[in-house]
Structure formats: structure tokens, C-alpha cells
A = this chain, B = another copy of it.
Amino acid sequence: MHERKLPATLRFMLAARRSELLGLEDLAQTCALVARISQLVHALQKERGYSNLFLSSAAAHLRPQLDSLSATAADLEQEVRTALEQMDPNGLGAPDKTRLFTRIAHALHHLDELPGLRRRIRERLISAQDATATLIRLIGGLLAVIFEAADSAVDPDITRCLVTLFNFMQGKELAGQERALGVTGFASGYFDPQQLERLSHLQECQERSFSTFCRFASPAAAAQWQVLCASSSNLQACRLREIARSTHAGARLDPQLGELWFELHTQRIDLMQGIESHLEQELLHCCQQGMQRIRRELHSHRRVLENLSDMHNSAEQIRLFSVHSSGLDSPPEDGLSGNLARSTLDLLQHQSQRLQAMQDELRTTRQALEERKLVERAKQLLMRQQGHSESEAYAWLRQTAMNQGLRLEEVAQRLLNLATAAELQPLAGHRH
């Protein structure tokens, strides 16, 4: 039956379901991109680790391994770029992608700098610290794409998968930064107070990310995380953290410990990579399942509506043949007759309730993203206005939260509100 023949009510009910399917198909494409980005991030983290090692020592024997890691990352970058080409941003049908596309442009901008950075690393024209900082920014830009994908996803299950993956990747990225910082510290034989503060900041933020991950993780992923936590490389890596913390200018270490640190933290991060792959698979699986479910529902929905419409048409036929019966006997001359109207209404109410439940679930999950964004923005504000370093800004927020018996997010929110009020002040004055 051609859909145009369906009454407008039923047509819009179908259109609503189809819109849901379109949204999910679109989301599935974004998730496929996210999975590729996740792999690229892992490759870049490995490359960063070796670049750091390469620049920190004069060890020329690291070069072949570094080249191989760069080649892997470059291949994965090409895959991401191909996937981006396929997203066809120039095509129609892409409203509401403004934030996602802006993040992608940002990430691409940083990726454009990669070949130049690699050349400078090999020619030792850049310090380990600067190279690391550049790669941290680059990876941060890629993570921001995943954050935005999570923040704009409309399906609660997929949003949950994306929030889980994002938080895990964030934790793993902080683990990578911790590894890099450790390499620098051990190479010089001790950690100065600033390095120690940064080290504990990285560890604390890691814990925060992984605890959010655990809150949303599937039982399977959570179990894998437990295995990692109990692994000997993790336990030994933690022991080396203790050793690092006990150093100072007067208590130096054998720089050789740096290689052990690197080795153990690399093992730890490689275990994380296993979980990350699992999360990518869960995400893609969730998209597939969601689309299958909606396609099935759309199919049965269409049949129900067509049946309703057939009943409606035959009711009209009957009415045509009973022009002589009294007005009181015949069904109302319009709309769907009683039973049909009721079935339609039932379907509509069921759909509305389902949508409301989805909205509620979505809000709960997005809350975790919203809170992260608040803390990030409050940190930026403190860094910009008070000249704090990132770890100082975070420490200030944490201390204030403890003093005032508030959650970190609440302190961040209040700080941002104050800043907004302060910005609006001159405007308000101007109006008088």
C-alpha cells in the first residue's frame, strides 16, 4: 500500500519512527568514526611514548621502532581521514552537526601539524617536553571529537557506550601522560616539587575518569578492568609511583629505573588497550542492535498502521452504502471510528511514554558529560584569570569543595556563575 494513502495521523506516526531510524543510522556512522579515532589515539600514544624516550636519550637504536610506530599512526590517520571524507560534510541532511564538525576541524588542524613534528623530533630540533605537549594537544583534540559525539547522541544506550569509552580513553590518556612525565623524572634521577604535583594530579584525574567509566561500564568491561587492576604490571607500576614520590634533589635514583617505569606503564597501557578495543566493539554492536530493533519495529509499526488504515477505509465503504440510515446510527462522518481511534491513541501514548523514558535516561547519562565540562571550564577560567597551572587550578577546586562540603562540580558551577555575573555587570551598568 502506498504510504501517501495513509491518513496524515498515521503517516506522521510512521515518520516519527523513521526519523528515529535515520538518527540512529547517522549516529552509527559517527560511532564508526569514533572507533577509528580511538585506534588512532592509541597509536599516537605509543608514538608519543617512544618519541619521548628517543628525545630523552641519545639512543639511536630506538629510531627504527619509532619509525614503525609513526607509520602505523599515519596509516590509522589515513583511515580516519577516509572515514571523514565518507561523512560527506558537503552533502545535505546534516543539520545540528555544527559542534561535531567544529571539533573535527580542530582535530584535523592538529593532525596537519604531525608530519612537521615528526621531522623535528627526528632531527632533535624539539625538546621532549615540547613534543609531548604538542601530542597531548593533538590527542586532546581527538578526544574532544568523541566527547562531542557522546554529547550529541540521541540514543540512551549508545550515549552510555560513548560516555564509557570517552572516560576510559581519557583515563588511558592520563596514564600515557603519567608515563611520559615519569620518563623525564627518572632520566634526571629525581622529581622536582612541580613534577611531583603534576604526577599526583595525573593520578587523581585518572582515578576520576576510571571511576566514571566503572559507573557506566557493562559487567563484561567492568570485569576486565578488575583483572587489569589486579595485574602484576599494574601493581608494580603503582610501587614505582611510590618510589618516584620519595625522590628529591638530595635523594636521586638510578636513571636505569626509567626503563623499568616505561616498561611497566607500557604493559599497563597495553592492557588498557585491550579493554578499549572491547569498548569499541560494544559501541558498534550497540549501534547495530539499535538499528535492527528500530527497523523491526518500523516494519511491524507500518503493518499495524496499514491495518488500521484498511479498517478505516472499509468503515468508509460501509458508510457509503448506508446513506439512508439515520445520522444517529452511523459512525461519526469523519476521522477514524471509535475502535480505530482508540488503537491509534494507544499506539501514540505508548510512543510518547517510550520517548519520555528515553529522554530521562539520556539526561542521567549526559549529566556525567555535563559535569566534566563544568570542571574543565572552571579549570580553564582559573588558569586564565589567576595564572594557575592546570594542576594548581584542579587543586584549588578540590580544596574549595572539601572546605565547603560541596561536590567538585558544584564548586565549578558556582565559580562559572560568578564569572558570568561579573561579565554581565558592566552591561547592566551600561543600561542605566
**Contact A115–B23 (Cβ < 8 Å):** no
Whether, in the assembled complex, A335 has its beta carbon less than 8 Å from a beta carbon of chain B, the answer is yes
Residue of B nearest to A337 (CB): B116
CB < 8 Å: which of B85, B94, B355, B377 contacts A19? B94
- Alpha-carbon distance A352/B335, docked complex (angstroms): 49
Can you show 5 pairs from A to B with CB atoms below 8 A apart? Answer: A12-B108, A22-B92, A102-B348, A115-B334, A115-B335
Q: Which of B20, B108, B336 contacts A112 (CB 8 A)?
A: B336
Q: In the assembly, how many copies of this chain are there?
A: 2
- Asked if A204 is an interface residue, CB under 8 A from chain B, the answer is no
Query: Which residues between 73 and 110 of chain A lie within 8 Å of chain B, taking CB atoms?
Result: 81, 84-85, 89-90, 92-102, 104-106, 108-109
Give A97's nearest chain B residue, CB to CB: B19
The A contact surface, by secondary structure, is helix
CB within 8 Å for A90 and B3 given contacts A102-B355, A109-B341: yes
Contact of A15 among B15, B18, B26, B94 (CB under 8 A): B94
Q: Judge whether A113 and B327 touch: CB under 8 Å.
A: no
| Contact among B113, B333, B345 with A119 in the assembled complex (CB-CB below 8 Å) | B333
> How many residues from A make CB contacts under 8 Å with B?
67
Q: Determine if B12 and A84 form an interchain contact, defined as CB atoms under 8 angstroms apart.
A: yes
- Which residues of B sit under 8 angstroms from A131, Cβ to Cβ? none
Closest 4 CB pairs of A and B: A116-B332, A15-B89, A112-B335, A16-B101
Inter-chain contact B119/A9, CB cutoff 8 Å: no
Q: Is the CB of B98 within 8 A of A20?
A: yes
Cβ contacts under 8 Å, A112 to chain B: 7, 9, 334-336, 341
CB-CB contacts below 8 Å: A141-155 with B: 154
- Nearest CB of chain B from residue A70's CB, rounded to whole Å: 13
A314 to B115, CA, bound (A): 19
Kindly state the separation between the CA atoms of A135 and B7 in the bound complex, as whole angstroms: 21
> Is A309 in the interface zone, CB < 8 Å from B?
no
Knowing A92-B22, A109-B345, A348-B106, the reply to whether A335 touches B16 (Cβ < 8 A) is no
CA distance A116 to B328 in the complex (A): 11
Asked if A351 is an interface residue, CB under 8 A from chain B, the answer is yes
Q: Does A391 contact B (CB under 8 A)?
A: no
B residues in contact with A352, CB < 8 Å: 102, 106
A123 at the interface (CB under 8 A from B): yes
